[in-house]
């Protein structure tokens, strides 16, 4: 089976919305072992949509379309596809009833325009929509298959998983299995050098890439069964683990926060965050993970110096003398939030996210991170970006570094250097 995606929507061509559907479907198709050679986006236009179908069917036997199933006149994906296969549309009264019921459950009358969504191409399989009013469709004509899905991701994704995956599985005779090795604290080129010979491998393939300040390795095997794919991948994975050690925070982990939360659950430990430049982003990312309440109870966003002193007990003299972006302030913030919260670990981030610096001695991108268990202090200083759209990047990467520093502390990583006892560090800090 050779598949193509067509995303339908003028709003995508105008850049109003980001095409997350194409990514979702690409990932799903890859997991099913179905080749996807092209993605196309086309506007809500009859002629151009028809021509996109023509082009797609010269290269593929199955075309998946998303979008253009709405109630307005410019929604015409279903109409164009039905005509493409020479099929009529007819009104399905039962679907019309369902759409009415959908609105009345919300206490609303059904707008007349929505009745269009109950029109169904003849000889098609209707895919029910649990999260909206537009059903999807599967149509076949000879060797050609058209699968039509609604545009909103929360309608499209469950419909694809529940109705389309079982359908497609019938046509896939090979399995593509892939794993992603996620690392933190090592650059893409340094990582690639450590595994350079493995990058030549043909099956599985090993491909490095960088994303959001992290370096990743994607290992992909093609095989006739899941078991065979696992057999191909497993020794390679062991080899990579040995070469990259503590830099690896997870295989197929969603994110550094997911890996850290699950590690902390396993160890039964808790952490609290004091955030300045990241201002809630660490807390937000940790609590993105369902069940984070077991390991996270408290965060303090101390954006001003006054709050750093008042809530976290940071010395006003140190703030005045060394500035908020300093290792000594980071250390006091970490200790302060540990004490207030009673958590096992206190984590602090303070830095110059940019775009400008309010301290002439501190460059944009300078970030300090401190983690303490109440005894030892683990500091990290790093330099993010200095210009351009640096703010979002610096904040994101600062939060990633803070969460990773917590992870390294929890696993007691040999790569982490302690600054010794945190209270001694604070008391004996050179203040002259």
Question: Under the criterion CB under 8 A, does residue 174 sit at the interface with a copy of itself?
Answer: no
Residues in the chain: 432
Question: Under the criterion CB under 8 A, does residue 26 sit at the interface with a copy of itself?
Answer: yes
178 close to 237: Cβ distance less than 8 angstroms = no
Question: Under the criterion CB under 8 A, does residue 41 sit at the interface with a copy of itself?
Answer: yes
Q: Which of 69, 236, 256, 286 binds a copy of itself (CB under 8 A)?
A: 286
Using the minimum distance from each CB to a copy of itself, give the nearer residue, 99 or 120. Answer: 99
Using the minimum distance from each CB to a copy of itself, give the nearer residue, 107 or 414. Answer: 107
CB atoms under 10 Å from CB of 376, counted, come to 15
Q: Which stretch binds a copy of itself (CB under 8 A): 92-100, 165-173, 291-299, 325-333?
A: 291-299
C-alpha pair distances (Å), 227 with each of 66, 171, 173, 180:
33, 19, 14, 18
Using the minimum distance from each CB to a copy of itself, give the nearer residue, 159 or 377. Answer: 159
CB of 270 to a copy of itself, least distance (A): 9
51 close to 63: Cβ distance less than 8 angstroms = no
117 close to 71: Cβ distance less than 8 angstroms = yes
Q: Which of 62, 77, 278, 350 binds a copy of itself (CB under 8 A)?
A: 278
Question: Under the criterion CB under 8 A, does residue 46 sit at the interface with a copy of itself?
Answer: no
Question: Under the criterion CB under 8 A, does residue 96 sit at the interface with a copy of itself?
Answer: no
Q: Which stretch binds a copy of itself (CB under 8 A): 20-28, 87-95, 362-370, 423-431?
A: 20-28
Q: Which positions from 229 through 268 interact with a copy of itself, judged by CB under 8 A?
A: none
CB of 53 to a copy of itself, least distance (A): 12
- DSSP annotation string for 90-159: EE-HHHHHHHHHHHHHTT-PPPGGGGGGGEEETTPEEE--TTSS--EEEEEETTEEEEEE-SSHHHHHHH
Using the minimum distance from each CB to a copy of itself, give the nearer residue, 55 or 376. Answer: 55
Q: Which positions from 133 through 162 interact with a copy of itself, judged by CB under 8 A?
A: 154, 157-158
C-alpha pair distances (Å), 237 with each of 231, 243, 354:
11, 10, 39
86 close to 142: Cβ distance less than 8 angstroms = no
The residue to which tokens 């759209």 are assigned: 389
Question: Under the criterion CB under 8 A, does residue 421 sit at the interface with a copy of itself?
Answer: no
Q: Which stretch binds a copy of itself (CB under 8 A): 17-25, 245-253, 368-376, 408-416?
A: 17-25
Question: Under the criterion CB under 8 A, does residue 20 sit at the interface with a copy of itself?
Answer: yes
CA–CA separation, 41 vs 216, rounded Å?
28
Q: Which of 340, 411, 416, 426 binds a copy of itself (CB under 8 A)?
A: 340
Question: Under the criterion CB under 8 A, does residue 111 sit at the interface with a copy of itself?
Answer: yes
Q: Which positions from 347 through 406 interact with a copy of itself, judged by CB under 8 A?
A: 354-356, 385, 388-389, 391-393, 395
Please choose, from the candidates 385, 366, 378, the residue with its C-alpha nearest in 3D space to the C-alpha of residue 410: 378
The count of chain residues that interact with a copy of itself, using the rule CB under 8 A, is 87
Q: Which two tokens stand for residue 70?
A: 């709405």
CA–CA separation, 334 vs 372, rounded Å?
6
Q: Which of 50, 144, 218, 265 binds a copy of itself (CB under 8 A)?
A: 218
User: What phi and psi values does residue 177 have, to the nearest 5 degrees?
Assistant: -120, 135
Q: Which stretch binds a copy of itself (CB under 8 A): 163-171, 253-261, 280-288, 402-410?
A: 280-288
């Amino acid at each position: 089976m050779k598949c193509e995606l067509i995303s339908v929507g003028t709003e995508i061509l105008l850049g109003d919305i980001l095409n997350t559907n194409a990514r979702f479907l690409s990932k799903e198709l890859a997991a099913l072992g179905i080749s996807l050679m092209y993605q196309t986006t086309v506007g809500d236009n009859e002629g151009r949509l028809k021509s996109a179908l023509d082009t797609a069917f010269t290269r593929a036997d199955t075309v998946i379309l998303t979008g253009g199933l709405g109630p307005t006149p410019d929604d015409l994906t279903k109409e164009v596809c039905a005509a493409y296969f020479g099929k009529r549309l007819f009104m399905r009264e039962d679907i019309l009833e369902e759409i009415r019921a959908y609105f009345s459950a919300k206490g609303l009358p059904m707008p007349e325009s929505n009745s269009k969504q109950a029109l169904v191409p003849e000889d098609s399989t209707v895919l029910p929509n649990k999260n909206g009013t537009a059903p999807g469709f599967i149509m076949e004509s000879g060797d050609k298959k058209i699968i039509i899905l609604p545009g909103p991701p929360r309608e499209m994704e469950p419909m694809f998983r529940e109705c389309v995956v079982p359908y497609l599985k019938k046509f896939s005779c090979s399995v593509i299995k892939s794993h992603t090795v996620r690392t933190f604290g090592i650059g893409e080129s340094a990582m690639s050098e450590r595994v350079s010979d493995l990058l030549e491998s043909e099956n599985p393939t090993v491909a490095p890439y960088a994303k959001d300040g992290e370096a990743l390795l994607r290992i992909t095997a093609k095989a006739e069964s899941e078991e065979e794919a696992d057999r191909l991948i497993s020794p390679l994975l062991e080899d990579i683990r040995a070469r990259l050690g503590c830099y690896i925070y997870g295989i197929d982990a969603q994110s550094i926060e997911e890996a850290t939360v699950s590690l902390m659950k396993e160890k039964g430990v808790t952490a609290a965050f004091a955030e300045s430049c990241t201002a809630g982003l660490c807390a937000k990312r940790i609590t993105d993970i369902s069940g984070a309440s077991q390991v996270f109870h408290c965060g303090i966003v101390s954006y001003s110096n006054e709050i750093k002193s008042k809530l976290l007990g940071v010395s006003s003299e140190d703030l005045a003398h060394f500035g908020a972006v300093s290792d000594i302030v980071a250390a006091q913030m970490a200790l302060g939030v540990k004490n207030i919260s009673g958590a096992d670990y206190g984590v602090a981030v303070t830095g110059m996210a940019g775009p400008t610096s309010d301290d002439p001695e501190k460059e944009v991108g300078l970030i300090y991170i401190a983690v303490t268990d109440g005894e030892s202090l683990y500091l990290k200083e790093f330099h993010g970006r200095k210009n351009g759209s640096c703010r979002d990047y610096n904040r994101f990467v600062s939060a990633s570094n803070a969460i990773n520093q917590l992870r390294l502390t929890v696993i007691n990583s040999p790569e982490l250097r302690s600054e010794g006892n945190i209270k001694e560090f604070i008391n004996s800090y050179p203040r002259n």
